[in-house]
Amino acid sequence: MRPISLASGVVPEFGALETVQAAAAGGFDAVGLWVEPGEWTAATTRDVRAELAASGLPLLDVEVIWLKPDSSMDDHRRVIDIGAELGAANVLCVSSDPDHGRTAARLAELCRYAEGSGMRVALEFGVFTQVKDLAQAMAVLDAVAHPLRALLIDPIHVDRSGSSIEAIARVDPALLPYAQFCDASGVRPDPADFAAVIEDAIDLREQCGEGALPLHALYDALPPAIPLSIELRSKALREAFDHPALRAKAVADATRAWLATYATA
């Protein structure tokens, strides 16, 4: 069974310490953390590092580097610095820059900056960004042409963008150090309705096996044994479980139940 990691989006109203504690209490194998570079302090790093050590959980990723035409590369580099200090394996990036050439150039700069950190720089595509589908993401990554570049797959964005699972299966496995996982309704929001797209992504995800996404096919298309970051942003779960540890346990239990059923199918 693949290792599973608690994505920070499962517990978005809680800080980094609470996220690590929730992942440990919920029974996850790893954890991901949201980093706001302007708010993160040396004390935060010290406390989170101690919590990670006490939990024994590896840090799968930090997020998010959000590339925008006017975003600060200093802020983006700071996210990498924080991730490196904490031992993160990946940093998650998205782009709202319509200039794909500039996106590629900045990603390449971040990859060079991450050299020696042990981190991969993972680009996530989605219809809510300017890198909207798998084909666009692969074109950007081909232009980056740095060994630390990576591709991050999320089932809801695969489905909503109309990207092909067969094409994902043909991606070089070296570009896929990990993937996100969740389920969702088969009803796709209108891509032109930005508010509906965002609501779908941050409020309406479902537990694995409870929605209509082709998770079995996607699971088979991914490289074997890579960890899955369970990116289950759900208003229903937030309302049902106001304690982060209880919410994390509900997500871990449901994910492992789906994985176990799938493994014996």
d(CA 199, CA 220): 28
Q: Is the pLDDT of residue 54 over 60?
A: yes
Q: Which helix (H) or strand (E) holds 215?
A: helix 215-221
User: What is the side-by-side strand order in the sheet with 149-152?
Assistant: 149-152, 120-124, 90-95, 59-67, 30-34, 4-6, 228-230, 179-181
State the pLDDT at residue 79. 98
Give the chain's domain count: 1
Question: Above pLDDT 70, what percent of the chain?
Answer: 99
Q: Is the pLDDT of residue 265 over 90?
A: no
Tokens at 208, concatenated = 């694995």
State the pLDDT at residue 263. 61
pLDDT per residue as tens digits for the range 6-36: 999 999 999 999 999 999 999 999 999 999 9
pLDDT per residue as tens digits for the range 134-175: 999 999 999 999 999 999 999 999 999 999 999 999 999 999
Q: List % helix, strand, coil for the chain (3-state, nearest 5).
A: 45, 15, 35
> What CATH number is attached to the domain comprising 218?
3.20.20.150
Q: Is the pLDDT of residue 261 over 90?
A: no
State the pLDDT at residue 149. 98
Q: Which domain holds residue 14?
A: 4-263
**Residue 151 three-state SS:** strand
Q: 9 — alpha (psi -120 to 50), left (phi > 0) or beta?
A: alpha
What is the signed CA dihedral for 89, 80, 9, 143, rounded to 10 degrees?
Answer: -80
Beta strands in the chain (DSSP E): 4-6, 30-34, 59-67, 90-95, 120-124, 149-152, 179-181, 228-230
State the pLDDT at residue 71. 96
State the pLDDT at residue 264. 52
d(CA 208, CA 241): 17
Say which residue the tokens 């150090």 belong to.
177
pTM assigned to the model: 0.96
Where does the pLDDT of residue 103 fall: very low under 50, low under 70, confident under 90, or very high at 90 and above? very high
d(CA 260, CA 257): 5
State the pLDDT at residue 1. 80
Contact indicator for 230, 26 with CB cutoff of 8 Å = no
CA-closest candidate to residue 85, choices 117, 115, 53, 57: 117
Q: What is the mean pLDDT of the chain?
A: 97
pLDDT per residue as tens digits for the range 72-93: 999 999 999 999 999 999 999 9
Q: Is the pLDDT of residue 262 over 90?
A: no
Contact indicator for 82, 114 with CB cutoff of 8 Å = no
Q: Is the pLDDT of residue 253 over 90?
A: yes
pLDDT per residue as tens digits for the range 118-128: 999 999 999 99
Average pLDDT over residues 40-53: 98
What is the signed CA dihedral for 187, 190, 195, 199, rounded to 10 degrees?
Answer: 20
